[in-house]
Amino acid sequence: MTNTLIYVLRIIGLVIFVYIIYALLKKYFFSKFKVNKWIIIGLILAVFAVPLILSSVLVFKMNIIISTIQSGVLVILFLWFMDTMGWGPKTAPSKTKLKTNKTKYATTTVIKSKAKPNRLKNTDMEVIDIKDIKRKKKK
């Protein structure tokens, strides 16, 4: 009974510790650069296979500390892989970003044609000045 309780508490402690380490790594290390998903899969396979190969070739014995560290590293790499694939939780956009996006796209720009002064010089058209019409209406 006590062995199973210790085992369960050790697993819960490992989960909490690994998640805290992953959150810190994600904030300060993983966000700094982008890595291809195949590199992460290669790292996962290496962390999984190297202790197995070492134990069979060099008579390397896996104790509980080494297996716990290996499990933690595997979980961290798996969570990193999930984030790079986009399967992680989606973060809500902040309110400041929403306000800047709304103001950026709310006003549509009006394209005005370029004035062509030579066109009026070469034609015999009568130019109607709008300011003169407004002045005559006011009087």
Least confident of 12-16, 28-32, 57-61, 124-128: 124-128
DSSP state of 88: S
Half-sphere exposure (Cβ direction) of 21: Cα atoms closer than 13 Å: 14
Average pLDDT, the chain: 80
Compute the distance between CA of residue 94 and CA of residue 23 in angstroms, rounded to an integer.
Answer: 20
19 neighbors 75 (Cβ within 8 angstroms): no
pLDDT tens-digit map of 62-83: 788 888 888 899 999 999 999 8
pLDDT of residue 52: 84
Which pair of tokens denotes residue 44?
């996962």
User: Other CB atoms closer than 10 Å to residue 81's CB: what's the count?
Assistant: 19
- Which two structure tokens, joined as six digits, stand for 138? 């006011």
The pLDDT value given to residue 62: 77
Does 103 have pLDDT greater than 60? Answer: no
Q: What is the pTM of this model?
A: 0.59
